[in-house]
Amino acid sequence: MSYEDIRARLNLFAVLPNLEDVVRDDPEMRALVAGARVNVRFTVARGPGTTVRFGDGICSVGPPPPRGEAGRAGASGPTVRLAFASASHLNKMFDGKGQPIPLGGFTHLGFLTRQFTQLTDRMAYYLAPTDELLEHPGYLAMNTLLTLNTAAFAVPVLLGHDPECVPLRHWLSQGTVVIKVLPDGPAVSLVCGASGVLPVKGELTHPSALVLLKDMRTANDFLAGKLDTFVAAVTGDVQIRGRVAMVDTLALVLDRVGKYLQPSAATTTAVAG
């Protein structure tokens, strides 16, 4: 699989799910889409796809719900379909250098050009930190949350397709790894099993391995690669418990995220101009 193909999967499956958290935690964005009931479907020709759903003031990102399933945001709403001729085409949109091809839901393009564009711009803002922005506790917390989520959701993509990560898959065959910012989160969990690795937002109980980060600043430096992890482990700023080998393997996978998503954890811009 090519570099562009892997990067497209990361943009769809690791970056785009951050819209859920921006809607939930940013009051302005929550109010912006409070009345929306619409699905935005991203599809790459001969490639992957995903759907961003809005309904009842909630945003959810992922494959369409099973037929008849209720209670998921936008499950019964109309759909705006955005097509991309290739993985490279999709990546150019995330880089702000290209636009999708709308194939359906034309009566709802106003939502796409206004609310959805503002929402993706806000996500891009949170994922493009500067030293000045990170001095603000609210921004620091949001950037840390979204970067942590992006890292977790990148893991199954890289294990499945990145040539340096595929051989590591058998080292993550069974168990759960939790990464948590003390004292109260955020946290992500990675459930490893025979069928693959499932990322979960939040903290699952009884993990096989646990990575505890002292506070939000420590977590942000850790995720940005600014922290000497050996020194941090000695001082207790980073605590690793349980199956250390799983954490070591996970670290090797996460080191590859920057190869595809630079310079920050992810960047994206408006999808309609």
The answer to whether the bond into 263 is cis (omega within 30° of 0) is yes
Q: How confident is the model at residue 270 (pLDDT cuts 50, 70, 90)?
A: very low
Condensed to tens digits (0 to 9), the pLDDT of residues 3-48 reads 999 999 999 999 999 999 999 999 999 999 998 999 999 999 999 9
48, 8 in Cβ contact below 8 A?
A: yes
Whether the per-residue pLDDT at 91 is higher than 90: the answer is yes
pTM of the model: 0.89
Which has more confidence, 58 or 75? 58
Q: How confident is the model at residue 273 (pLDDT cuts 50, 70, 90)?
A: very low
Does 3-126 match 166-255 in CATH topology?
A: yes
Find the farthest-apart pair of alpha carbons in the chain and give their distance in angstroms, rounded.
58
Nearest Cα to Cα of residue 176 among 216, 208, 220: 208
Going by the DSSP 8-state scheme, the letter that residue 272 receives in this structure is -
Give the start-end residues of each E strand in the chain: 38-44, 49-55, 58-62, 79-84, 101-104, 175-181, 187-193, 196-201, 209-213, 238-242
Which has more confidence, 74 or 201? 201
Condensed to tens digits (0 to 9), the pLDDT of residues 170-202 reads 888 889 999 999 999 899 999 999 888 999 999
Whether the per-residue pLDDT at 268 is higher than 90: the answer is no
Whether the per-residue pLDDT at 121 is higher than 90: the answer is yes
Amino acid, res. 39: N
Nearest Cα to Cα of residue 85 among 41, 43, 42, 45: 45
Whether the per-residue pLDDT at 76 is higher than 90: the answer is no
For 118, the token pair is 């503002």
Rounded CA-CA distance 150/24 in Å is 16
Domain 166-255 grouped into CATH 3.30.1050.10: yes
Amino acid, res. 52: V
pLDDT of residue 65: 58
Domain 3-126, CATH: 3.30.1050.10
Summarize the confidence of residues 251-256 as an average pLDDT.
93
Ordered by start, the domain boundaries in the chain are 3-126, 166-255
Nearest Cα to Cα of residue 57 among 75, 34, 85, 87: 34
Q: How confident is the model at residue 75 (pLDDT cuts 50, 70, 90)?
A: low
